Amino acid sequence: MLTVSYDGTNYCGWQIQPTGITVEEVLNRELCRLLSEDIHVLGVSRTDSGVHALGNLCVFDTDSEIPPEKICFALNQSLPDDIVIQSSCEVAPDFHPRKRDSIKTYEYVISAGKVPDPLRRRYSHFFYQPLDVEKMRLGAKYLVGEHDFKSFCSSHSDKEYTVRELTAITIEEKIISDGKCLDGSDPVIGGSAGLREAKEIRIRISGTGFLYNMVRIIVGTLLRVGTGFWEPEKVKEILDARDRNAAGPKAPACGLTLLEIKLL
Amino acid sequence: MLTVSYDGTNYCGWQIQPTGITVEEVLNRELCRLLSEDIHVLGVSRTDSGVHALGNLCVFDTDSEIPPEKICFALNQSLPDDIVIQSSCEVAPDFHPRKRDSIKTYEYVISAGKVPDPLRRRYSHFFYQPLDVEKMRLGAKYLVGEHDFKSFCSSHSDKEYTVRELTAITIEEKIISDGKCLDGSDPVIGGSAGLREAKEIRIRISGTGFLYNMVRIIVGTLLRVGTGFWEPEKVKEILDARDRNAAGPKAPACGLTLLEIKLL
């Protein structure tokens, strides 16, 4: 089993696609080369195009005699620098990670400010409207627990059973102080109105199961609460509606990272 | 005057080069289009190939009647997404930013850990050897103040006067907890040895003037102190040697960002 991290910017997601290169395809190719066997990895989370991961998991069968813990180091030598294996270990031959109960944690990063920061653009969603984080937290509370998340599922999904359980949502707000002077004083630059007053908002969502686009639709909905377009209580109505059209838009892929999958 | 931020990954630095595209060149091109005038920006800091900036500055002359504070928004519409103007303002016609006294602040980011994080690779230098940050701070102390930094200047430089003044160096160490569960417990993933135990070390260096490659040679030297290869006192010897060969190697460009230029 491999713990796989990747910058999803240049990939059409995890799963092999006819339309472009995917993480699964690159792993299969490099494992075949490394182990001289026909390898097909089985991933736990099939992340979407442009979504990142720090702790996705996959398994594969091999007859290799390379010690399991060393495979990550050998594989990292030949992988492109936007895919890195964090660790590797042996699991039982009948171990099937998708059939195991797990808690997945996703993080969605929002860069808030007047002007985007080019060093954050690949891994966050720039949002210039002011956000009331306390209201977002109130709205998010309605989503924790077991609910029918049909309103938060892409209409392109063919899943009929849409009840899922979210175990936690946390929303952190941080002032970005990159532009601050070392002595903590405000930078004043040649009479301009100061450098950067930016905030970063990190939404972490953990759950035992997720529907297609569920995290991104939740974030799109919470953004509408944060701007004041919707009151926090509206989230409850959206859940009850069981209708994708009731919820907010899908937030962009670049802000989303699969942080970890905890097998129970 | 523009406050310019950029992801330097895909640029051959600031200054126009025959060998590849530069930030200066893109700004000239887009300003010419926007203002329908022949514009040549004059940048304050000519950052190297691959180096990033949050607060570089440049000035240009124009007859445009667009309000100066609005030029940044208009220009950002047509710039590629790795160059963003943070603000714009009017300065006196005889204002020459390179002739003004200033304090520049650079930040160098080191990702420390066993395995690189692909989401940090573009904006930090991955370093897998353990680093003693306290020793790095002791070594850095010798560099603060006015010194002859000849040992910390690229041998390709033609500068003869190599005395410069550093006003501050701070070194911050932060544990990266992206892989931690929301409840703060340690992640244990399918029997693997846990997710990621990574540190980020941020070295901020401020000064009134810098020689060619000076920050990156200082960082390369402090890394040797951090690993224990050199004792902190060695930094004093290196300064006294006034010889580029005495110092450590130049650290890679990707870890370096020009944070701000404070005009005095």
Residue B39 belongs to domain spanning = 2-99
- What residue type is assigned to position B184 of the chain? G
Share of chain B above pLDDT 90, in %: 82
Does the beta-carbon distance from A181 to B206 stay under 8 Å? yes
Residues B128 and B49 in one domain: no
pLDDT band for position B160 (cuts 50, 70, 90): confident
B-facing residues of A in 131-160 (CB < 8 A) are: none
Mean pLDDT across chain B: 90
pLDDT given for residue B193 in this prediction:
34
Instruction: Find which of A87, A202, A203 to mutate to test the B interface (most B CBs within 10 Å of its CB).
Output: A87
pLDDT given for residue B218 in this prediction:
98
C-alpha pair distances (Å), A50 with each of A10, A22, B136, B246: 7, 10, 38, 45
Phi, psi of A35 (to 5 degrees): -100, -5
Q: Comparing A83-97, A179-193, B80-94, B197-211, which segment has the lowest mean pLDDT?
A: A179-193
Instruction: Tell me the Cα Rg of chain B.
Output: 21
What total of structural domains would you count in chain A?
A: 2
What's the mean pLDDT in B83-112? 92
> pLDDT per residue over A200-213, tens digit each?
999 999 999 999 99
Q: Which residue has the tokens 């010798």?
A: B142
Residues B216 and B253 in one domain: yes
| Chain A CB within 8 Å of residue B32 CB | no
pLDDT given for residue A27 in this prediction:
98
The rounded Cα B8 to chain-centroid distance in angstroms is: 10
pLDDT given for residue B196 in this prediction:
54
3-state secondary structure A185-208: CCCCCCCCCCCCCEEEEEEEEEEC
> pLDDT per residue over A46-100, tens digit each?
999 999 999 999 999 999 999 999 999 999 999 999 999 999 999 988 888 788 8
Residues B127 and B172 in one domain: yes
- Token pair recorded at residue A57: 């998991």
User: In A, which residues are within 8 Å of B183 by CB distance?
Assistant: 168
Query: What is the CATH classification number for the domain harbouring B215?
Result: 3.30.70.660
Query: Known catalytic residue: B38?
Result: no
What is the rounded CA–CA span in Å between residue B138 and residue A135?
46
| Chain A CB within 8 Å of residue B98 CB | no
Residues B208 and B192 in one domain: yes
What is the rounded CA–CA span in Å between residue A51 and residue A104?
14
Strand partners, A171: A203
Residues A158 and A259 in one domain: yes
What is the reported pTM? 0.89
Residues A94 and A156 in one domain: no
Find the residue in B nearest to A108 (Cα). Answer: B178
Last residue within a domain, chosen from A99, A127, A145 = A99
pLDDT given for residue A264 in this prediction:
86
Instruction: Find out whether A37 and A91 touch, Cβ atoms under 8 Å.
Output: no
| Chain A CB within 8 Å of residue B9 CB | no
Residues A85 and A138 in one domain: no
pLDDT given for residue B180 in this prediction:
41
Residues B87 and B165 in one domain: no
Instruction: Find out whether A75 and A31 touch, Cβ atoms under 8 Å.
Output: yes
Q: Which of B120, B117, B106 is nearest to B171 (CA)?
A: B106
- Tell whether the model's pLDDT for residue B176 goes beyond 80: no
| Chain B CB within 8 Å of residue A165 CB | no
- Tell whether the model's pLDDT for residue B181 goes beyond 70: no
| Chain B CB within 8 Å of residue A125 CB | no
Which parts of chain A sit beneath pLDDT 70?
Answer: 177-197
Report the relative pairing of strands A102-112 and A198-207 from DSSP bridges: antiparallel
Residues A161 and A258 in one domain: yes
User: In B, which residues are within 8 Å of A52 by CB distance?
Assistant: 118-119
Residues B225 and B259 in one domain: yes
Residues A146 and A71 in one domain: no
Half-sphere exposure of A197 (CA within 13 A, CB side): 7
Residues B113 and B211 in one domain: yes
Q: Which of A120, A86, A196 is nearest to B123 (CA)?
A: A120
- Tell whether the model's pLDDT for residue B205 goes beyond 60: yes
Query: What is the CATH classification number for the domain harbouring A55?
Result: 3.30.70.580
pLDDT given for residue B113 in this prediction:
85
- What residue type is assigned to position A2 of the chain? L
